[in-house]
Structure 1
Amino acid sequence: MKRILQFSLITRFFLAAFILVTLAGCKKDDEDFEPRLFLENQAFSVANTSSKHTIVFLTNQAWQVETDVDWISLEQTSGEKGKVNLSFTVEENDDDERTGKITVSANGVTQQEILVTQEAGNRDDIYVRVDGTGEGYSWDDATNLQNALGIAVSGNTIHIAEGVYTPTATVTGGDPGDAGDVTFEISKYVRLKGGYPADATEGSEASPHQYRTILSGGGVSYHVVTVSAPKTEGQKVVLEGLKITEGKAGPATSSAKINGTSFRRDYGGGITIGNAVVDILDTEIVDNMSDKNVAGLYAFGGSVVTIHRSKINNNSSAGNAGGVWISESVAHMYDTEVKGNSGGTAAGVHGYPDATVNMYNSIIADNNGRSYGAAYYIRQNSKGLLVNCLIYGNTSTSANGGGGVMMYNNNEAVIVNTTITGNSINGPGGGIYRRAGVNKVSIYNSIVSGNEQKGDGPDVDVYESDAPAPVVGSSVLGSVAYEANGEAIEGASFDAGTMFTEAYVPVGENNPALEHGMSADDLVKLGSSLSPAVESSLITKDLQHNSRSGLHAMGALADGN
């Protein structure tokens, strides 16, 4: 669905409208004043499903609203002067595209109209080949990808055969004269499913690893993929079996406005997601660049992104965030790797500001930074959860600190069944580093050891002398092993050089990481107490989905077999 908010009144004019309404409210008799009515939303394009939307307007008079169609229901039909947020609901559409009108009146005199366009109810699948020229509703009559996105309606699945696809259409609100504004824009709640053979026929099955479906920006597009379908309850975009590559976010701080959301040209070379709900499955976001910030994936503006079995690798940013940047949004990553990315701050994963970044059974490795936080960095009122994660081989040339996990300015992180080792930085806290404000970290059944940091300091470090101590249970920090209650275990010592295999599996006799870890039952209790709760089927297994039953192993890898 694409909801187009047309702001015909600039900010100054809207402010002037508010002043007029306020002044009118100071008079005894509203009828002495000319009715004023200012609309924020003058047109809506809505999905074919049942959905709820909001009209925003200002008026200095009592108001009335009506509609000329029966498939639009209004929450109210009249009210008092002031700023109004009026909800309306559209019914599901199973037929052709249709339009309806909502009329807003001030004191029964001044009127303005809002056009509501609802997309058609055709949910037939669409089929795409590189050289497709047909209508797209069968493999025999396949179309091209750009046309498929244009004809798709919410609920469609677009099946895409192997090959390299390059965008040709300018993003909504973009500059037709700017080649960088050419992108694959997803403005409806559709599923893009790649991995079909080039000669696919009816009944062909997708195999993304065998048949590569590549969406390429050709080193020109600011974003290879732009997801602009705004959040609507029960709806989401799905990207499956794709390779998204060769995007290049630009250096200029400018934006294309879509649905009232500003999509920055200098963020998100591979994919940018604004105020959307997106599932990414079995997809690679690789070898993208940015002349400014975040080369791989950028999610912002209240987005919710869930990633399964994917790779965000080898993306390179001239500024901050090489791989992933989650801004005022939520990300859940499962069985995903973030490897070989480069950037300034947060070369791997960046959550800032007011972000939530939860990772499960995932790897963050070999990312190369030049400032704060080489691997996983959350900042400014953000939250993070790491379960069954392996964080290794990340580096930073900066003295700012934070090789494995970095927290800056009032954040909370919970780390469970995770191994943070082999990270090397020129500052403090090669494993975990906290700085500015109150940063709370809880570490359970994890290993943070064998990292290199400035001055042979501790693997887990903090800038403020009065900072709260980490909550530690059944974990190894540096060479010290801790019991469930956070007390150091007398006589127990961990040596990352001899007590890990090359794959970071704990091994050897008298290894506290094999003897003093949490039982499966204890992990189930812990998982149920966390927010969000972690299912027992996940927390009682390791990174490779091996069972922890009968073991007391700390870290991401409980069993090397």
Structure 2
Amino acid sequence: MNKILYSNYITRFLLGALLLLNLAGCKEDDAVYEPKLFLENETFSVANTSSKHTIVFLTNQPWQVASDADWVVLDQTSGEKGKISLTFNVLENDDDERTARITVTANGVTQQEIQVVQEAGNRDDIYVKAGASGEGYTWEEATSLENALAIAVSGNTIHIAEGVYTPTVTVTGGDASDAGDVTFEIGKYVRLKGGYPADATEGSEANHQQYTTTLSGGGVAYHVVTVSAPKAEGQKVVLEGLKITDGRAGAATTSAAINGTNFRRDYGGGVTIGNAVVDILDTEIVDNQSDKNVAGLYAFGGSVVTIKNSKVNNNISSGNAGGVWISESVAHIYDSEFRGNEGGTAAGVHGYPEATINMYNSVIADNKGRSYGAAFYIRANSKGLLVNCLIINNSSTSKNGGGGVMMYDNNEASIVNTTITGNTIAGPGGGVYRRAGVNKVSIYNSIISGNVQAEDGPDVDAYEADAPAPVVQRSVLGSAAYDASGQAIEGASFNAATMLNAEYVPVGENNPALEHGMTTDDLVRIGTSLTPAVESSLITADLLQNSRSGLSTMGALVAQ
């Protein structure tokens, strides 16, 4: 944290604590004491859409609040002493940038001002080409990506032509003398859409598979993309049709402070997202590095990230989390892959602490770890949901366990229509491993078999001898198949080497994964019982959207 900001924070904290003591100690018959007033925020930068915000202040006197602009509407204008959270609404702006002042007064004597700056209402699209320097509002007058981000306001779409773009602008709160602090910073609720031809003209359509728009950190930037637009109701940032590569998170545990959020330089070589809502669509986050933790994507501070049709591949960390780290945030992941990432703990997908990761129709494969949890790892009161997922060929050299799914310290996971096989771990639980606290796992219509673990132990294992048994319904664990009540089916035996083909589809005669799986009615029932509930159209199809109708096949894939 910046030393000045840290000093200010400590000063405010101490003053606030003293004020609270003062308030607590005063009695009604005490003599009149000096009015005190402390603000948590003195400025607000807000979007051009209607939005709601909160002022927090401490005072030992009755207070009054007023605004000098009719587009800032206060929920309350006066009240009694204490710690106050006061809501105000900002109306939509269709014109130029504008500024308002909110005045807070303690007992009509002590005053402080809060400045509210609302961005302009111009929502015209912006157009970017490599090497361009125009005003940016047509393809013919395309501009640079740095300038597009500088002139953008919430609601803009920035269309980006094929080419390689490398950041040159220092991140907010960063150090201009530090070459690693350059980034493409997104501080507004905009859409970055790549995949247009290099010579795009009016009417050109995006095709990210044909035209590659590359955002490159040049092996220098701590984060290729930094999303700093703070969460606001109904607003989000969209990254679409991009290739984000060659970032390199640093080794030093330092941060750049943006809007009260500290963006660590040692996390998130490709993308870092702090306290933001972001959609990542048709995008590749690949070949990034970190000299410490999480090379690919780092989302933290209450972020909500949705990833669709994307790849997070071949990212390498010296420390933990090669591909993705979700921290105190939520990730919804669809039709995506996480392959070939490397790291210590959680080489593939990492949720810690208090993270929620919901994955659908996705693949976690070929990730290489050196500690806990090679593929999908959740820790410290986190939650995971895997539906129609394929978790294969992940490995770790560590004896700590968890080749496919690892749960550490009081977590919950539901595994539905998922195949976990071919994972190799030097410790226990090559398929699923649970350790520390109470880790609840429910397994439905899934195959967890053919994994390699220490001492030829079970594919689904737990560290504590008294760990609660997993909920298992119509699934295969190791060589055993289980019915709807969780009982082993007598005479049924599964062999992953012969009963899964090269594409991981169950095959062969007397295969319990073909005979004893759930019907679509069963799956709909399970889907409605989960949190979040799973749509019937999703749970009654397989990873490739093939219908399960008329089948009772376990695992991620069904034969067609």
With normalisation by structure 2, the TM-score equals 0.98
In the alignment, is residue 288 of structure 1 matched against residue 288 of structure 2?
yes
Alpha-carbon distance, 1:14 to partner = 2.9
How many angstroms apart in 1 are the aligned matches of 2:533 and 2:82?
Answer: 43
Alpha-carbon distance, 1:13 to partner = 3.8
How many angstroms apart in 2 are the aligned matches of 1:51 and 1:45?
Answer: 11
How many angstroms apart in 2 are the aligned matches of 1:400 and 1:131?
Answer: 50
Spell out the pairing of 1:257-276 with structure 2 (5 A cutoff): 257-276=257-276
The answer for the alignment partner of 1:10 in structure 2 is 9
The answer for the alignment partner of 2:467 in structure 1 is 467
- Judge which range, 9-18 or 38-47, deviates more: 9-18
Spell out the pairing of 1:75-474 with structure 2 (5 A cutoff): 75-474=75-474
Contact kept, 8 Å, 2:127 with 2:159, in 1: the verdict is: yes
SS in 1 for 2:524: helix
How many angstroms apart in 1 are the aligned matches of 2:414 and 2:170?
Answer: 42
Letter in 1 for 2:22: L
Kindly tell me: are residues 13 and 530 of structure 1, through their superposed partners in 2, closer, same or farther at Cα, counting changes over 3 Å? Answer: closer
1:136-179 CA-to-partner distances (Å, cap 9, x unmatched) read: 00001100000000000000000000000001111111111111
Letter in 1 for 2:497: G
Alpha-carbon distance, 1:31 to partner = 6.6
How many angstroms apart in 1 are the aligned matches of 2:62 and 2:440?
Answer: 50
The answer for the alignment partner of 2:557 in structure 1 is 557
Q: Give 5+ residue unaligned stretches, structure 2.
A: none
How many angstroms apart in 2 are the aligned matches of 1:13 and 1:46?
Answer: 24
Letter in 1 for 2:119: E
1:223-266 CA-to-partner distances (Å, cap 9, x unmatched) read: 00000001111000000000000000000001111111111110
Contact kept, 8 Å, 1:241 with 1:283, in 2: the verdict is: yes
Contact kept, 8 Å, 1:14 with 1:38, in 2: the verdict is: no
How many angstroms apart in 1 are the aligned matches of 2:30 and 2:104?
Answer: 18
SS in 2 for 1:9: helix
SS in 1 for 2:525: helix
Alpha-carbon distance, 1:21 to partner = 4.4
Alpha-carbon distance, 1:358 to partner = 0.6
How many angstroms apart in 2 are the aligned matches of 1:33 and 1:101?
Answer: 28
How many angstroms apart in 2 are the aligned matches of 1:139 and 1:37?
Answer: 52
How many residues matched? 556
The answer for the alignment partner of 2:519 in structure 1 is 519
Alpha-carbon distance, 1:51 to partner = 0.3
1:332-382 CA-to-partner distances (Å, cap 9, x unmatched) read: 100000000000000000000000001000000000000000000000100
How many angstroms apart in 1 are the aligned matches of 2:23 and 2:466?
Answer: 54
How many angstroms apart in 1 are the aligned matches of 2:479 and 2:20?
Answer: 67
Runs of 4 or more consecutive aligned structure 1 residues displaced over 2 Å after TM superposition: 6-10, 27-32
1:397-424 CA-to-partner distances (Å, cap 9, x unmatched) read: 0000000000000000000000000000
How many angstroms apart in 2 are the aligned matches of 1:354 and 1:493?
Answer: 38
1:209-232 CA-to-partner distances (Å, cap 9, x unmatched) read: 100000000010000000000111
1:103-157 CA-to-partner distances (Å, cap 9, x unmatched) read: 0011101111111110000000000001111110000110000000000000000
SS in 2 for 1:325: strand
How many angstroms apart in 2 are the aligned matches of 1:13 and 1:237?
Answer: 32
Contact kept, 8 Å, 2:62 with 2:79, in 1: the verdict is: yes
Contact kept, 8 Å, 2:19 with 2:58, in 1: the verdict is: no
The answer for the alignment partner of 1:20 in structure 2 is 19
Alpha-carbon distance, 1:525 to partner = 1.3
With normalisation by structure 1, the TM-score equals 0.98
Alpha-carbon distance, 1:18 to partner = 3.0
Kindly tell me: are residues 21 and 416 of structure 1, through their superposed partners in 2, closer, same or farther at Cα, counting changes over 3 Å? Answer: closer
The answer for the alignment partner of 1:67 in structure 2 is 67
Contact kept, 8 Å, 2:343 with 2:368, in 1: the verdict is: yes
How many angstroms apart in 1 are the aligned matches of 2:515 and 2:221?
Answer: 53
Letter in 2 for 1:22: L
Contact kept, 8 Å, 1:18 with 1:58, in 2: the verdict is: no
SS in 1 for 2:272: strand
Letter in 2 for 1:14: F
SS in 2 for 1:312: strand
Contact kept, 8 Å, 2:163 with 2:212, in 1: the verdict is: yes
Contact kept, 8 Å, 1:192 with 1:238, in 2: the verdict is: yes
How many angstroms apart in 1 are the aligned matches of 2:49 and 2:466?
Answer: 54
Letter in 1 for 2:80: E
How many angstroms apart in 1 are the aligned matches of 2:484 and 2:405?
Answer: 22
How many angstroms apart in 1 are the aligned matches of 2:392 and 2:531?
Answer: 26
Contact kept, 8 Å, 2:524 with 2:536, in 1: the verdict is: yes
Kindly tell me: are residues 521 and 172 of structure 1, through their superposed partners in 2, closer, same or farther at Cα, counting changes over 3 Å? Answer: same
How many angstroms apart in 2 are the aligned matches of 1:114 and 1:470?
Answer: 54
1:13-46 CA-to-partner distances (Å, cap 9, x unmatched) read: 4322331343255144677222111111001110
SS in 2 for 1:38: strand
How many angstroms apart in 2 are the aligned matches of 1:419 and 1:134?
Answer: 52
Kindly tell me: are residues 70 and 31 of structure 1, through their superposed partners in 2, closer, same or farther at Cα, counting changes over 3 Å? Answer: farther
Alpha-carbon distance, 1:8 to partner = 8.4
Alpha-carbon distance, 1:60 to partner = 1.4
How many angstroms apart in 1 are the aligned matches of 2:62 and 2:169?
Answer: 45
SS in 1 for 2:146: helix
% identity of equivalent residues: 77
Contact kept, 8 Å, 2:315 with 2:342, in 1: the verdict is: yes
SS in 1 for 2:8: coil
Kindly tell me: are residues 29 and 198 of structure 1, through their superposed partners in 2, closer, same or farther at Cα, counting changes over 3 Å? Answer: farther
How many angstroms apart in 2 are the aligned matches of 1:77 and 1:439?
Answer: 48
Letter in 1 for 2:293: N
Letter in 1 for 2:543: L
How many angstroms apart in 2 are the aligned matches of 1:371 and 1:248?
Answer: 22
1:164-200 CA-to-partner distances (Å, cap 9, x unmatched) read: 0001111111111111110000000000000000000
- Judge which range, 14-23 or 145-154, deviates more: 14-23
Letter in 2 for 1:556: A
How many angstroms apart in 2 are the aligned matches of 1:59 and 1:170?
Answer: 38
Contact kept, 8 Å, 2:23 with 2:82, in 1: the verdict is: no
How many angstroms apart in 2 are the aligned matches of 1:537 and 1:380?
Answer: 32
Spell out the pairing of 1:466-545 with structure 2 (5 A cutoff): 466-545=466-545
In the alignment, is residue 547 of structure 1 matched against residue 534 of structure 2?
no
The answer for the alignment partner of 1:3 in structure 2 is none
Contact kept, 8 Å, 1:24 with 1:33, in 2: the verdict is: no
Letter in 2 for 1:164: V
SS in 2 for 1:180: helix
The answer for the alignment partner of 2:52 in structure 1 is 52
